[in-house]
Amino acid sequence: MTETAPPTSVTAAYRLTYLILALAITAYSLLQSLVAPVLPLLQHDLNTDRNTVTWILTAYLLAAAVATPIVGRIGDMIGKKKVLTAVLIIGCAGSVLGALASSITVMIAARAIQGIASGIIPLTFGIVRDEFPRNKVTGAVGLISALLGVGGGLGLVLGGPIVDALNPHWLFWIPAITFGITAIAAHLIVPESPTRTPGNVSWIAALLLSSWLIALLVAISEAPKWGWASSSVLGLLVVALVLAVLWMKCELRSKSPLIDMAMMRIPAIWTTNLAALLIGIAMYSIFAFVPAFLQGTPEAGYGFNSTITESGLIVLPLSAAFLLAGIGSGPLSHRFGAKSVLVGGSVVATASLLILAFAHSAIWQIMASMLLMGIGFGLAFSSMSGIIVHAAPSHQTGSASGTNANIRTIGGALGSAMMASVVTAHVLPGGLPAESGYTTGFAILAVASALGGTAALLIPNKHTPIAVPDDVSLKDESSTATMSN
């Protein structure tokens, strides 16, 4: 069957929509890491300790983990454009609160509100699937996934210059302005998706999800202070386990589950999500701890006494490589299969983390690690999104993509808490983290990445293409493709 090219006006419309969606994704992804290089500065300005200031990142990831499936679900129910506009406004509000924050408590609250903007991810994927030509979906999703990593890397680069030229408050004012402009553009230009999934949001499931995640993250982050064998840590771990089991039972019994466990049983989806969890542990932790490592002093036995700006420039290859790998992921997936690209990306990312753990005495070694890391994670993130989009039923694209992004974020929250726990457990007499803490932490992240690649090997080599019920021609095309498989 020969696909008819869309009219020029239609092509221009979806390209403009894509531009707005890309801007929304970039604005959100910058939030992941924009404050990471200045955590030591915020620690001083907000009069807090090293472990507490890490919650500026952890609270953001925790809120994102809870908000992503909720927002994706609401978007599927009432319309993705409406919810996208609302989420952009919420991100703007959280950024304004962060700019005005004068205490660590308010700052953590602001970051949690910013985390709700993570709902942009499933909404964007859903709009792309609903509105774009079928042959453009995989490439568009892959590039958006790449932008998630690129924005995270750019945040590390831009944090220093923004602080140097302006002040730390502008790390929040700039995202606030960007969110505001994007919200207006989305309201005026982005078309409303026709697909609707009736149902309700399971708020009990949302409460259980957030509760077991909080219990687990607090246990991991406070373990060095309280002791891993302490009654407090063990008690929180037991609470987390019990609440997690109750959450899964609640989802299984719900008529409108937050995360559809039946969908999660699809082999291509659960295996990809397992890989996403493990790769997320490795990826997001880098944003917080590589700049801090680079800003260490030679007297402490590691680091290069880099300024905030210098540390950002050293990790610049990560962003550039992530973008190029994300762009190249589509053609590579078409040629070799998305599974192979995901496995290969995990292998490259693992190698980069091993370099970071055991060969970090020269700046060129760090930059080489960042380059490989960008390639590895760029390929992995983009290929994962493509697998999920093509494996999920068409009416659940938003929730499936949101779940995958959510699981990566959960992995990031766990990884950040784990890294903070390991680094703060190895402290020099002067109070600075010891090199052994960073080495151990980076090595653990390498293991997580390697396990992610191993999980990716379980992904089926082929899966049934998705039928699109509202379009007869696409139905026929899907049926033909299914028979050929």
Tens-place pLDDT, residues 163-205: 888 888 999 999 999 999 999 999 998 887 777 777 677 788 8
Listed residues 214, 239, 255: the one ending a domain = 255
Tell whether 397 and 283 lie within a shared domain: yes
In a domain, 161, yes or no: yes
Mean pLDDT score, 295-309: 84
Tell whether 231 and 282 lie within a shared domain: no
How far apart CA 31 and CA 173 sit, in angstroms, is 11
DSSP secondary structure letter of residue 134: G
How far apart CA 76 and CA 127 sit, in angstroms, is 10
In a domain, 2, yes or no: no
Angle between helix 435-456 and 267-294 (nearest 10): 160
pLDDT of residue 391 exceeding 90, the answer is no
In a domain, 222, yes or no: yes
Tell whether 212 and 356 lie within a shared domain: no
The pLDDT of residue 397 is 64
pLDDT of residue 298 exceeding 80, the answer is no
If one compares 354 and 286, the residue with the highest pLDDT of the two is 354
Q: Evaluate whether 476 touches 1 at the Cβ level (below 8 Å).
A: yes
pLDDT of residue 112 exceeding 50, the answer is yes
Listed residues 210, 227, 255: the one ending a domain = 255
Name the band, by pLDDT with cuts 50, 70 and 90, for residue 311: confident
For residue 89 the two structure tokens come to 């406004």
pLDDT of residue 454 exceeding 70, the answer is yes
If one compares 26 and 399, the residue with the highest pLDDT of the two is 26
If one compares 435 and 402, the residue with the highest pLDDT of the two is 435
The pLDDT of residue 219 is 87
How far apart CA 50 and CA 8 sit, in angstroms, is 55
In a domain, 168, yes or no: yes
Residue with tokens 């997001």: 284
Highest mean pLDDT among 103-117, 257-271, 425-439: 103-117
Residues above pLDDT 90, as percent of the chain: 29
Concatenating the DSSP letter of every residue in 56-114 gives HHHHHHHHHHHHHHHHHHHHHHH-HHHHHHHHHHHHHHHHHHHHH--SHHHHHHHHHHH
The pLDDT of residue 153 is 73
In a domain, 44, yes or no: yes
Name the band, by pLDDT with cuts 50, 70 and 90, for residue 320: confident
Highest mean pLDDT among 124-138, 204-218, 363-377: 363-377
Tell whether 154 and 229 lie within a shared domain: no
Helices (H) and strands (E) in the chain, counts: 20, 0
Tell whether 341 and 214 lie within a shared domain: no
Average pLDDT along the chain? 83
Tell whether 336 and 441 lie within a shared domain: yes
pLDDT of residue 60 exceeding 70, the answer is yes
Q: What are the Cα distances from residue 285, in Å, to 153, 249, 271, 387, 410?
A: 12, 30, 22, 24, 11
Name the band, by pLDDT with cuts 50, 70 and 90, for residue 150: confident
**What's phi and psi for 433, nearest 5 deg?**
-65, 145
**What's phi and psi for 427, nearest 5 deg?**
-125, 140
Angle between helix 203-226 and 55-78 (nearest 10): 170
Among candidates 307, 303, 322, which has minimal Cα distance to 366?
Answer: 303
Residues above pLDDT 70, as percent of the chain: 90
The pLDDT of residue 192 is 79
Q: CATH number of the domain that 161 lies in?
A: 1.20.1250.20
How far apart CA 187 and CA 84 sit, in angstroms, is 9
Listed residues 237, 255, 273: the one ending a domain = 255
Q: Evaluate whether 219 touches 238 at the Cβ level (below 8 Å).
A: no
Give the other-Cβ count within 10 Å of 461's Cβ.
Answer: 9
Tell whether 370 and 420 lie within a shared domain: yes
Tell whether 237 and 381 lie within a shared domain: no
DSSP secondary structure letter of residue 427: B
Three-class secondary structure of residue 433 per DSSP: strand
List pLDDT tens digits, range 78-105: 888 999 999 999 999 999 999 999 999 9
In a domain, 96, yes or no: yes
For residue 153 the two structure tokens come to 């890397």
In a domain, 236, yes or no: yes
Q: Which region among 41-50, 340-349, 358-367 has the lowest average model confidence (pLDDT)?
A: 41-50
In a domain, 1, yes or no: no
Tell whether 340 and 262 lie within a shared domain: yes
How far apart CA 298 and CA 346 sit, in angstroms, is 32
Tell whether 124 and 80 lie within a shared domain: yes
Range of the domain at 221: 202-255
The pLDDT of residue 103 is 93
Mean pLDDT score, 100-111: 94
pLDDT of residue 7 exceeding 70, the answer is no
Name the band, by pLDDT with cuts 50, 70 and 90, for residue 424: confident
Mean pLDDT score, 429-443: 86
Q: Evaluate whether 275 touches 347 at the Cβ level (below 8 Å).
A: no
Q: Write the CB contacts of 386 (distance below 8 Å, at least 6 apart in sequence).
A: 138, 141, 142, 329, 330, 333, 338
Tell whether 86 and 210 lie within a shared domain: no
How far apart CA 276 and CA 455 sit, in angstroms, is 9
Tally of domains within the chain: 2
The pLDDT of residue 205 is 86
Tell whether 240 and 262 lie within a shared domain: no
Mean pLDDT score, 437-451: 94
| Dihedral angle computed from the Cα positions of residues 351, 352, 355 and 357, in that order, rounded to the nearest 10 degrees | -100
The pLDDT of residue 480 is 31
Give the other-Cβ count within 10 Å of 355's Cβ.
Answer: 19
Residue with tokens 């009219």: 7
